[in-house]
Each structure stands twice: as structure tokens, then as C-alpha cells.
Amino acid sequence: MTNGFQIVVCGSLVPDPLQTLEPVTTPQGPGLKNETMLPSVLDPWSAHALFEAAHLAKQVAGSKVWLVSLGPKAKLQQLMMTVAQKVPFELVALDGSASGFTDAHGVAAALADAIGAIPGLDKSRLLVFGGCASASRDASVTMQLVGERLGICDQFVGVDEIHVQADGAFSVLERIEGGEYLASTCAGAPAVLAWATGNLPEPPNNPQIGMGNMRGVMPALQKAKPAAVGVGGIAYAKTEIPAQKRQTRIVKDASTDEIAREIVEWIRQ
């Protein structure tokens, strides 16, 4: 392939999974308690997509990677201080809610518009990467909706591997039920690939890559366009943390038959 790929990765921030998340009702709809104060990380599935995109761009000469990210500007800036040191990319920032309660259709519309507005975008070389799911807004349809809005019919979901041939065609391994893979071949770009976990480890931090990325990250954040995304027409009657139930009884010298019988009776109840 002579010109390389234009790889656009859709990925945003999510609350650090080590934090305790408590849903609350706000004037704007459901949200998380102290959401603006929670530390954030790059969504794990989006991170896999970004690492795979950078690996592919390194393999195919002339390729370039963009990261299109929707979230509050202040939190995106904090996130980029870490993400920018991983792999080379150009940031396209959208200033809007990154809440897990946002409507996938609104998010997809904002992402598709941002992708379409990238200067010099050549759809014949375009690969759109993203996560097959999300640690916050797990609708599992966002990437497909982005592809439809961009008019891209070749879509692959749950991708773990991609192998590019010399003529630009590529083969894809997608996860399916039963722990098996669906092997497909695509004639070339454009295509949408929603990644599962991939096969690459997280790259180590590289300060030189970070400095190169940050020269473009700060201007991109300053000119980030507002994205009016919300819950759409969804109505949430109630949001709460799943209740935990624990029943413990200490008994000495019980036989295995008695223990098994009690466990079966407890399950039946």
C-alpha cells in the first residue's frame, strides 16, 4: 500500500475502576456522586484500539493516527498527560459530557461529525477504530452508529487481530460465541473496527513521544468544540448501587453431606 491508512480512534475517559461509584440524580439527569472529582483513565477498550492503531501505523508506511475524544476539557487535559506518552497521535477534542448515562446516538453523531471535519480526510484510506464496549456507556452500539453516519458498510465487532496485505486488503479475527473466532477478509478501507482486547501489551511511557503529542494536544483542547450530548429520550426511573447480601454462620464439626445439603437448600430459597 503506497499511501498508508488514516486511522481515527474513538476513545474517551472513564472513572478509575478502583473508585467507588455512587449514582445520584442531578438537575441534568442521572450522574455519579462527585463525578468531577473522580480520577479518570482512558477507557480500557479504547486503549486497546489506540495501541493497535499505533502498531498498524508503524507497520504501514504513510499512515497516521488521530484520537477523537469526547469529554470535559479539564479532565481530558489531565488524561492526556498520561495517554500522550504511550503512542503518537493527533488529538481531536470535543467538550461535552463523558457520563455513562449519555445516549449512544448523540455520542455517535458528535463523533461522526468530528471525524468528517478532520482536514484532508481521505475516506478511501480511512479506518475507524474504537472499543467494542465501554467501561461506562456500555451500549455496545456506538462504533456501529458512527460507521453508519460516515457511510461505512464494512464493520467488524469484537476484533482481536488484523493483518494487512501489501495491496491494502486485510484479514480480521472477530470474537464470536463459544470462544471461537470469525475470520474475515476485507478488500481495504474504509472500515470500522470495534476492538476487544487485541494482542498488544500497554506500551511503556516515552517522554519524547509525550512531548511531541502535547505540542498538538494543548491547541486541540483550546479549540475543542462543545458537544451537546445527553440522555436523549431515555427516562431513568431509578439508579442505585446493587445491594450486597451476606449471610454467615460458623458451625464446627459439620459433615460434608450436611454442608452440601444446606448449600442446596440455600440456593433453592
Q: Which domains does the chain have, with CATH numbers?
A: 6-226 (3.40.50.620)
Whole-number pLDDT of residue 190: 93
Of 137, 135, 74, 84, which Cα lies nearest the Cα of 111? 137
- Does residue 229 have a pLDDT over 80? no
Question: Of 202 and 136, which is predicted with more confidence?
Answer: 202
Q: What's the distance, CA 260 to chain centroid?
A: 43
98/76 Cα distance (integer angstroms): 10
Question: Of 111 and 235, which is predicted with more confidence?
Answer: 111
Instruction: List pLDDT tens digits, range 12-69.
Output: 888 877 777 767 777 766 767 767 777 788 888 999 999 999 999 999 999 999 999 9
Mean pLDDT, range 100-104, rounded to an integer: 78
pLDDT-derived band at 159 (thresholds 50, 70, 90) equals very high
pLDDT-derived band at 266 (thresholds 50, 70, 90) equals confident
How much is the pTM? 0.81
32/229 Cα distance (integer angstroms): 16
Whole-number pLDDT of residue 231: 66
Q: Quote the mean pLDDT of the chain.
A: 85
Whole-number pLDDT of residue 167: 87
- Does residue 99 have a pLDDT over 70? yes
- Does residue 1 have a pLDDT over 60? no
Q: Give whole-number Cα distances, 47 to 43, 44, 265, in Å.
A: 6, 5, 45
Whole-number pLDDT of residue 138: 64
Whole-number pLDDT of residue 141: 86
- Low-confidence winner among 99-103, 121-125, 172-176 (lowest mean pLDDT): 99-103
Contacts of 157 (CB under 8 A, 6+ apart): 132, 143, 144, 174, 194
